[in-house]
Amino acid sequence: MYAITILAVLFTLAAELTVSLLNYSRRSHPIPDNVADVYDETQYQRWLDYTMETHRLGMLSKGVNGLATLGMLIYGGFPFIARLADSLTTHAILRILAFLAILYGLKYSLNLGLKLYRTFGIEARYGFNKTTPQIFVLDQLKSLTLGLLLSGALLYSLLWLYLNHFESGTLTSGPAAWIPTWLTAWLMITAVILVMNLLYTKVFIRLFNTLTPLTEGPLYDQILNLAQKTGYSLKAISVMNASRRSTRLNAFFSGFGRFKHIVLYDNLIEKCATDEVVAVLAHEIGHAKHKDVLRNFLQSTLQIGATLALLLYFLTASGPWAAAFGFTEPHLGFALLLFGILTEPLGLLLSLPLTALSRKAEYHADGYAATLLPQAMIRALKVLARENFSNLTPHPLAVKLTYTHPPISQRIAAIERIAAAEAAATRSTKKK
C-alpha cells in the first residue's frame, strides 16, 4: 500500500513533466504554412522567450508540489496535521474539515510565491498583466472565501452522509444498503454543479468582473444580423471588463435554457475587426446550438457518479492505507486525500477521451462559424493566437492529454475545408 501510493505520486509527476518537456521540445519545430503569418520575427522571438520562462516556472511548480506531497507521505506530515486539527475541536466532521483546510492553506502558501512571480513578473514583462496588487489581493480573498464556503458546505454534507450511514460497514452488506446514500450524494453534488452552471455568469463572474450589455453601433448591428440568421436571442450578450486584469482575448458561452449567456472580453472587441468579433460570436452561438454546456454538464454528472461509487468503497477500506502512513486509526480526511492521489494516474488516462470530446466540440463550433463567416473566423483565430501567445507547434501527445481546444493550424485547416465545400456546393447549385 505504501509503495503503491508513492509510485502513484512519482508516476503522475513523471508523466506531467514528460508531457511538458515534449511540448517544450517542439518550440523550434517548423510552423505550419497556414499560420506562418501569425508572428513576425520579433514577435516570434518574444513568444520563444515567454515559452521558455513559463515552461521553467511550470516545471518548478510541478516539481515543488510533487516533492512536497512525497515529503508529507514519507516523513509523517499528514498524521502531524491530523493531530493538529484534532486539537482544535472535538466535532468529528469539523476535525476532518480542519485537517483539509490546513493542508489547503499549506499548498496555497507554497504556490502563492510562484503565482505572484508569474503575474507580476513574467506576465507583466511580456505585456499581459494589468492586475494591480490591490486587485490581486481582492481576487484571492474572494476566491478563497467563495471556495471555502462552497466546498466546506458540500464536504460537510457528504461527510455527514458517510458518517451516519457507512461507518458501521453497511457498504459491505450489499447494494440495498449503500446505493440510496450513494444516490443521495450524487444528486447533491449534481444539484450544486447545476446551480453553479446556471448562475456562473449571472452571479459568480459578477463577483470579480463588471458585465455590461453590448451597446448600439456597427458591431451591434452586425450581431443583430447574425442573430436574425441564426435565430439566437440577443437578450444575454455582455461585454466583460477583462482588460482590468489582462490583455488576453477571449469569449465564452455559459448556461442553458433561459440562463444562456454569451460574454465577449472588451479586449476582443478592441483588438479584433468587427467581422472578426462577429465570427467569434458565431463560434459561441455554435456551442449554444450544439448544446455543449448541457453535454458537458451531463458528462460531468456521469463522471461524478462513477467517482463517488469508487470513493465510497475506498473510504470503507482505507484503514490499512492510513496505518501504512503512520495513522493509528482510519482517518476520513487522509482517505479523501489519498483517493485523489491514487486516482490521478487514472485521470491522466481519462483525459484522452475527455479532451478529445472537447476538441470535437470546438471543431463543430468552428464549423458553425465557418458556414457564416469563414475568412473572418480564420483571421480572428490568428489574432487570438498572436495576442495570447499561443503555441503554434504543440506536441501531439500534449494535445491529446491536455488540450481542450485543437491547435490553431488544425482549426484553420478544418475551416478552410468547410469553406471550400460550401463554395463547391454553391457553384454546383448555380450551374443547375
Give the residue carrying C-alpha cell 476538441: 359
Which among 366, 387, 416, 422 is annotated as catalytic? 366
Q: What is the Cα–Cα distance from 280 to 197, expressed in whole angstroms?
A: 22
Q: What is the Cα–Cα distance from 196 to 321, expressed in whole angstroms?
A: 34
Residue in 138, 189, 125, 194 with CA at minimum distance from that of residue 159? 189
Look up 221 and say whether it is catalytic: no
3-class SS of residue 211: strand
Q: What is the Cα–Cα distance from 37 to 173, expressed in whole angstroms?
A: 65
Give CA angle at 136 (134, 137), nearest 5°: 65
| Alpha-carbon distances, residue 208 vs 139, 159, 214 (angstroms) | 7, 31, 19
**b/e string for 380-392 if b means 16 or more Cβ within 10 A?**
bbbbbbbbbbbbb
Look up 49 and say whether it is catalytic: no
Other beta carbons within 10 Å of 86: 15
Q: What is the Cα–Cα distance from 36 to 41, expressed in whole angstroms?
A: 10
Tell me if 197 sits within 8 A of 224, measured CB to CB: no
Residue in 282, 247, 244, 246 with CA at minimum distance from that of residue 262? 282
Instruction: Tell me the three cell numbers of residue 311.
Output: 470513493
Which among 16, 284, 292, 387 is annotated as catalytic? 284
| Alpha-carbon distances, residue 7 vs 4, 10, 14, 103, 347 (angstroms) | 5, 5, 10, 21, 15
3-class SS of residue 366: helix
Q: What is the Cα–Cα distance from 29 to 354, expressed in whole angstroms?
A: 27
Query: Which H or E element spans position 240?
Result: strand 237-240
Write the DSSP string, 293-351: HHHHHHHHHHHHHHHHHHHHHHHHT-HHHHHHTT-SS--HHHHHHHHHHHHHHHHHHHH
Tell me if 226 sits within 8 A of 281, measured CB to CB: yes
Instruction: Name the binding residues for Zn(2+).
Output: 283, 287, 362
Q: Kindly list the catalytic residues.
A: 284, 366
